[in-house]
Each structure stands twice: as structure tokens, then as C-alpha cells.
Structure 1
Amino acid sequence: MTKQPKPKPVIPDGAFSFPVKNPRDTRWFSFLLLDGFTLLAFSSALDPLRIANQLSRKALYGWQVVSEDGQSVPSSSGLSMEVHGALSEVERTAHLFVCSGNAGLEAASDSTIAELRKRARFGGRYGGICTGAASLARAGLLEGKRFTLHWENQPGFAEAFPMLEPTRKRFEEDGDLLTCGGGSAATEMMLGIIARDYGTDFAVLVADMCLNDPDLKGRREQRSSIATAVDSRNPKLLLVIQGMYANIEDPLTLDDLAKNAGFSRRQMERQFQSMMGEPPATVYRNIRLERGRALLVETDMTVMEVATAAGFNSTDLFSRHFKARYGETPYGTKGRRR
């Protein structure tokens, strides 16, 4: 079949601009929309590219939106999306993102799965948005790879592919393989690409236009600790987590947390490792770090004040753990806010 020409790159007008010196040739991405795809996740991936073009006033990025048969595709919200063409019309070496929703395991037809395998043999590059990784798994493209998909769909994915283990991260990058859990994680994934192409300052400006506080290195997890505890349906575990959130500035000891929930400390530690994948001390510290990061981003408090409010008895200890979790110091986070 004759390949359809790529659409002309979109360069919208805007009130604000940011000059990019020595831009590269337009970098192209293709998005395969499958029936029931999540509109939020797709648009969250696409718009950072549009904003990058708008700010630079140059065609830094181009995109081609396709479906299995070239027809419009219904999203999970009931709205249909027009496309540029069919998957078969996209260059086989293109960087292709598969976009799907709740029915990610069944969304792609057998012929599309076969096409994905064929493209892999031609050196195609892949990504999965929301549950797009499920189609990549069906095509056998995730073995030995680090990847993720939306947390709601991970239990069903694990049943279908017991030998593959998605991470809890909001997005993952393993070589050319890019996957995310959807929503704002899709924006963060694309901001990471923009940062590597044109620098962190430009990527942070794109994030500001998105009203997004970016995690360019993908260290955040998809769900909060309390959401994970609720999902475990373990009332004692939930009591411990609630105790952690209620005692951030003056942290309780692990013994006190266990006693208040009716656990022995040993039982509590086993439950945390089993249900949360981390010991309670790590979970508690991360909850306090999350509070500290929010205060740095949202207030004018000093780093010392934030450290105290997050339950750390020194700025050095707070800074060390903060950098290990977020990849920059508290001072760096506060400086970016300014």
C-alpha cells in the first residue's frame, strides 16, 4: 500500500515564545488510537509537542494520528477522534505510540498485533500510553524490558502475562521503549523527551504552559501510599498509613504505629513488604518527602522550615533523602519555582 504523506507540522501562534537555537530536523511521532482509548492520556502526550512548537515558533515535532483501519476511533468518553490514516500507511521505522483504555488487553485486533511484530523486525520504535503496553506485550515486544501501564489495569495484565512485571512508576524509559500510566504521566514522559532534545530549561517552560509540575526523571509512583493501602483491603495497614499522614511534622516510631493499629512490629513490616513492596520506614519517609516537596513548590517556606514541617531534624538529612528520591536537592526544586 502506498504510504500516506505525513501531515504538515503544526506551529500554533501564541503570546509567549522561547527561541531555540540550532533546531534539529522535525522529530516525528505516530499515535495509534485503539477503540476505547483514553482521551486524557492521548491529549496529555500530544499537547507538550504542540506547545514546544508554539514556544519555539519552529517545527520541532510532528505527529501522525492513525487507527487500525483509517476510520475515526471512539474514545472511552464516547467522543470519536478523526485520524490521518491507517496504521498500514505509517513508515515501519516510525516511533509509534499505542494508545488504549480499560480494554487494553483486547483492544488491538490480531492483524494489528501481527503488524506490530512485523514493524519490530524492521527496526520500529515503540511506546505505550495508558494501557498501550498490553498490546506490545501481546506482540512479544516487552520481554526483558522495563515498562509500565495504568495501575488500575496492572492486576489483569499480571494474570494475562505472569512472566512480565510492570513497574509502579508513572512512566518508564528503556532504550527506545517509552511507556506511561496515562494522564499527567503522559505529559511527563513527553517532557522528558523534550528535555533531552532541547534542554531542561525549555522543557520546564513547556511544563509551565501545561500547568504541570514535571517529574522529568520518572521517579514518582502512580499511586499514593494511602491509595495502595485502601486497595489492599487490609484495615490495619490502612490505619498505619493514616497514622503516618496524621503525624508528619512529629513522626511516630514504628513501634507506636504498629501498636496503634493492633499489629506487632514484625507483622506490620511483613504486611508492608507484601502489600506495598517496601518496608514501613521507607513508606513513612516518602510520605514526609512528598509533603516537603509540595511545600517547596507551593509556598515560600525556607528549606529549613520545610525540613522541620516534614519531620526531619536537619536540613542535611532532608536534602540527602530528597535528592535520592527526586534527583535534585530541595534548593534546586525551590529555585525552579522561582
Structure 2
Amino acid sequence: MSSESHEKFEFLLLDGFSNMVLASALEPLRDVKMRAMFASLDWEVTTLDGLTVTSSSKLKLSPDRRFDPDQTKGTLVIVAGYSVREQVNRELVSLIRVASRNARRVLALDTASWLLAEAGILDGHSATIHWQELDAFEEAFPNVDVSNARFVRSGPFMTCGGASTALEMVLELIQDTFGPAAAFDASSMFLFDPARQKDQQRGAAWLRDRGSPKLLNALNIIAENVEHPLTTFELAERVSLSERTLNRAFAQELGMTTGKYYKLYRLQHARYLAQETRLSTEQIALRCGFSCASALGRSFTKEFGRPISTFRS
């Protein structure tokens, strides 16, 4: 993704939406915005009437504005809940139809696929829905190729069921839009479990079918060696590759050299420590593999365009 590109996300919430589903889709984007070096994105929350919306657990959320399909751009994320069938009416279907034409892509979470199908825009497409609605969904919409997959991508539409599948779907979207490095960081943040990471394909292993095993192993080693960074040669030795081959793998799969990624990873960690802790800049520098605060400061300002002090909470 170009550093000049900007991704806009609109979350349309319907009454009865699941807090877990919303968080599973939104929080990885927040992580990307906070940590990814080459990602520019923003989001807003809308409701049909511009008023407070109530989740399935009775939590109330105030939107940024009223839903207006003429303002829909970028990625439209529709989050519906248990009462979606009762909420369907001619006006809503018309709004969804217009918004889907204006959007670059549409994500339907939980039961929101029902709305898209009612609007007729899933005809000829593959789609899924919350498992409790699968049979009724298939019976109601014979022109939709209904799948029981965890999530489905078909043309500009991405559909999924519950919270865990929403997270998986958004992580894949992050990889496609912002690159494997951003997806790796986000998946590590929300799926990290040291005891089960390897078996459950979590952290860097989440990218197993999207990146070479040697590269994924290198990403794990980098994450484990922030305070005392390895040289590129040492890292290559650890994964049984030549330094040249490792650099080529990083360039092809992450769009940057090994050294560039390693440095950015350490700077990302430094930014996190500046934002979330009271450590001094000198302490942060040492924890992130820099010889002193001034060395960190120079590198940080060069990459971020402003000093690390500006990220202090």
C-alpha cells in the first residue's frame, strides 16, 4: 500500500448488534492505525437514524452521524444482530442497495448478510452468515451460493458469522490492504498465546499459508530479539538461509529489506512504550536495542517525522 493511500471504514450498526463482533472487526484496525508505519486509515460509526443504538447485551453506543448511503465511501461494514429479519423493510433495503454501489467493498458481519441478500446484491455470489441462520438463509435466498465457511469473499463482498470469524476476516483484509507486516502485528496483538501459538497458527504463524515458513520463523525471531537485535547475517543463520536469500524473501513478501523491517519493528515497540509506560527515553532506547536515547531519537524522528516525546500520553 502506498503511504499516500487512505482507507475509510464506515461501521453501520443495527439494533441488537454484538459487542464482540464489533470489537473483533474494529480493534485490529485500531491497532493498525496506531502501529503500522505505512497505513493511513480512519473510521466512523453510523446508525440508521443517527441516534443511540443498543447492542444485544443492552450497551448503548452513540454514532458519529446518521447513515447516508450517498456519503458511503471506501469500506462499508454492516453489523447486525439477532433481530435482523424484523428490521428489514423496503426503505432499509433501498438504502443498503445504494450504499453498496457507492462502497469500494462491503463487509457483512454476523447476520448482516441477510440485509445484502434482501437487497438482491448477493445474487450469484457466495456468502455465509451466523451459523444459527445458515439453513434459513439458504432456504430464503436460492440465488445465493450459501457456504458454511468461516468467512467468504466474493467480488466486493466479504461475509462472516460470529466474533472469531469476524476477526479472521478483518485480519485477512488488513493483510491485503496494508500488507503482511501490519497483519502480523495485529494478529500478534489479539491472538497471542505463547503456549499454543505454534499449534493454533497464532502470531506470525497466522500468515503460514500466505508467507514462506522461513520468513515466518524470522518474524518470530525478530519479535523475540528486540532488546538485543541480531545482525541480518545472524538472523539468516537462525533460519538456515543465506543473507541474500533472506533479504529477497522480505522484499518479495513484506516489501522491504530484513534490516528495514527489523528497525521498524523496534521503533514500533519504542512508540508503544512511549505511549503506554512512564519509562524514560533512555530506558526505552535500551529496551528497543538502541545504544542511547539520542540514537533512538534520531532514528525515530527520521521514520515518524516527529520526536518520540510527542507520543507521550
Give the TM-score category using the shorter length: 0.5 to 0.7
* Residue in 1 that maps onto 2:78: 98
After TM superposition, give the deviation of residue 330 of structure 1 in Å.
Answer: 10
Q: CA deviation at 1:181?
A: 1.2
3-state DSSP of counterpart to 1:105: helix
Equivalence for 2:291: none
Which of 48, 64, 70 pairs up with 2:28? 48
1:160 matches 2:62: no
Question: Displacement, 1:91?
Answer: 1.3
**CA positional deviation for 1:58:** 7.2
Q: Is the 8 A contact 1:105 1:157 kept in 2?
A: no
Q: 1:188 to 1:160 in 2, by over 3 A?
A: same
Alpha carbons of structure 1 residues 41 and 197: separation in structure 2 relative to 1, 3 Å: same
The one-character-per-residue Cα deviations of 1:187-214 (angstroms, maximum 9, x if unpaired) are 221111221223213211111111258x
Matches within 5 A, 1:230-249: none
CA contact (8 A) 2:12 2:67 kept: yes
Distance 1:189 1:168 in 2: 14
Of 96, 102, 105, the match for 1:116: 96
Distance (whole Å) between structure 2 residues aligned to residue 206 and residue 295 of structure 1: 14
Give the C-alpha shift of residue 137 in structure 1. Answer: 0.4
Unaligned runs of 5+ in 2: 202-207, 222-313
1:26 corresponding residue in structure 2: 6
Shift of 1:56: 2.7
State the match for 1:193 in structure 2: 173
Task: Spell out, residue by residue over 1:307-330, the C-alpha distance to the aligned partner (whole angstroms, 9 max, x if none).
Answer: xxxxxxxxxxxxxxxxxxx73699
> Secondary structure of the equivalent of 2:79?
strand
| Paired letter, 1:78 | K
Residues 58 and 77 of structure 1: CA distance in aligned 2, closer, same or farther (over 3 Å)? farther
What secondary structure does 1:297 align onto?
coil
> Gaps (5+ residues) in structure 1?
1-20, 214-293, 300-325
Question: In structure 2, what is the equivalent of residue 107 of structure 1?
Answer: 87
Q: CA 1:166–1:90 in structure 2 vs 1: closer, same or farther (change >3 Å)?
A: same
Q: 1:53 to 1:105 in 2, by over 3 A?
A: same
Q: Distance in 1 between matches of 2:107 and 2:159?
A: 5
Aligned 8 A contact 2:70 2:98 in 1: no
How far, CA to CA, are the matches of 2:181 and 2:98 in structure 1? Answer: 38
- Once residues 146 and 111 of structure 1 are traced to their aligned partners in structure 2, the CA distance between those partners, rounded to angstroms, is 25
Measured after TM superposition, the shift of residue 334 of structure 1 is 7.5
Q: Is the 8 A contact 2:128 2:151 kept in 1?
A: yes
Separation in structure 1 between the aligned mates of residue 211 and residue 50 of structure 2, nearest angstrom = 48
Structure 1 contact 67–85 (Cα < 8 Å) conserved = yes
Q: Could you tell me whether the CA contact under 8 Å between 2:70 and 2:102 is conserved in 1?
A: no
The one-letter code of the counterpart of 2:130 is H
Please give the secondary structure, in 2, of the residue aligned with 1:210.
helix
> Letter of the aligned partner of 1:297 in structure 2?
D
Q: 1:53 to 1:74 in 2, by over 3 A?
A: same
| 8 Å CA contact 2:127, 2:144 repeated in 1 | no
Give the equivalent residue in structure 2 for 1:135.
115
- The secondary structure found in structure 1 opposite 2:71 is coil
Seen in structure 2, the aligned counterparts of structure 1 residues 122 and 63 have a Cα distance that, compared at 3 Å, is: closer
What TM-score results when the alignment is normalised by the length of structure 1? Answer: 0.56
Of 42, 45, 49, 1:69 maps to 49
Query: What displacement does 1:59 show?
Result: 6.2
Residue-by-residue CA offset, 1:31-80 (whole Å, 9 max, x unaligned):
11111111111111001110001113676221111111001111111111
Give yes or no for contact 2:7–2:74 (8 Å, CA) kept in 1. Answer: no
Q: Which residue of 1 aligns with 2:209?
A: 327
Superposition deviation, residue 337 in structure 1? 5.5
Amino acid at match of 2:150: R
Judged with a 3 Å threshold, the aligned counterparts in structure 2 of structure 1 residues 295 and 127 are, in CA distance, closer, same or farther, namely closer
Select which of 177, 188, 200 maps to 2:157: 177
- Partner SS state of residue 126, structure 2: coil
Q: Normalized against structure 2, the TM-score is what?
A: 0.60
Does the 8 Å CA contact 2:69/2:96 hold for their aligned counterparts? no
- The answer on whether the counterparts of 2:21 and 2:162 sit within 8 Å (CA) in structure 1 is yes
Residue 16 of structure 2 aligns with an amino acid whose one-letter code is G
Decide whether the 8 Å contact of 1:93 with 1:124 is kept in 2.
yes
Cα separation, partners in 2 of 1:197 and 1:328, compared to 1, 3 Å? closer
What is residue 239 of structure 2 aligned with on the other side?
A: none
Distance change in 2, residues 1:34/1:24 (3 Å): same
Matched residue type, 1:63: W
Is residue 74–residue 81 contact of structure 1 (8 Å, CA) maintained in 2?
Answer: yes
SS at match of 1:128: strand
1:297 paired residue number: 199
Specify whether residues 26 and 58 from structure 1 end up closer, same or farther in structure 2 by C-alpha distance, changes over 3 A only.
Answer: same
Q: Decide whether aligned partners of structure 1 residues 33 and 90 sit closer, same or farther in structure 2, where only a CA change above 3 A counts.
A: farther
Q: CA RMSD in A?
A: 3.0
